[in-house]
Structure 1
């Protein structure tokens, strides 16, 4: 059972890294984060399409990762 959970947590973590890397960046460069980032932060932030799917998938994979980590801790 331990090996199964360990394999699943490795698969989920690799998938989560891929999904996070596929998400588009919000700012163009580092200076936007300090100078013009506040206008984007409080502006219209409704995402649609593939970007919304990636955000939801990131949340789901994160929840699955933590659930597997807690389950794995019980088997150690």
Structure 2
């Protein structure tokens, strides 16, 4: 049973690292302040965009990682 959770932690940690590294920064600098009005137009489709998908993948993998780490600590 511990092997299953150890492998799950390994996989989710790699997914978590990859999804965090692929995300763009929140501060866009000067171009973000100039084109700030466009975000309100495209904000409706943010969940279907590349950034939205990466955000959801990061959230889900972090939750799975934390739960599996707690279960593994409780088993050992």
Same fold by TM-score, threshold 0.5 exceeded?
yes
1:53 Cα deviation (Å)? Answer: 0.6
The structure that is helix-richer by fraction is: 2
Q: Please give the TM-score of this superposition, normalised by the length of structure 1.
A: 0.72
Which structure 1 residue ranges, 5 or more long, are not aligned? none
Would you identify which runs of 4 or more consecutive aligned residues in structure 1 move more than 6 Å?
none
Q: How does 1:56-75 map to 2 (within 5 A)?
A: 56-75=56-75
- Matched residue pairs, number? 66
Which structure 2 residue ranges, 5 or more long, are not aligned? none
Per the alignment, residue 50 of structure 2 pairs with: 50
Distance 2:3 2:23 in 1: 31
C-alpha distance after superposition, 1:4-25 (max 9, x if no partner): 1111101100110000000011
C-alpha distance after superposition, 1:28-72 (max 9, x if no partner): 46xx8xxx8xxx7xx85x435110011111110111011101110
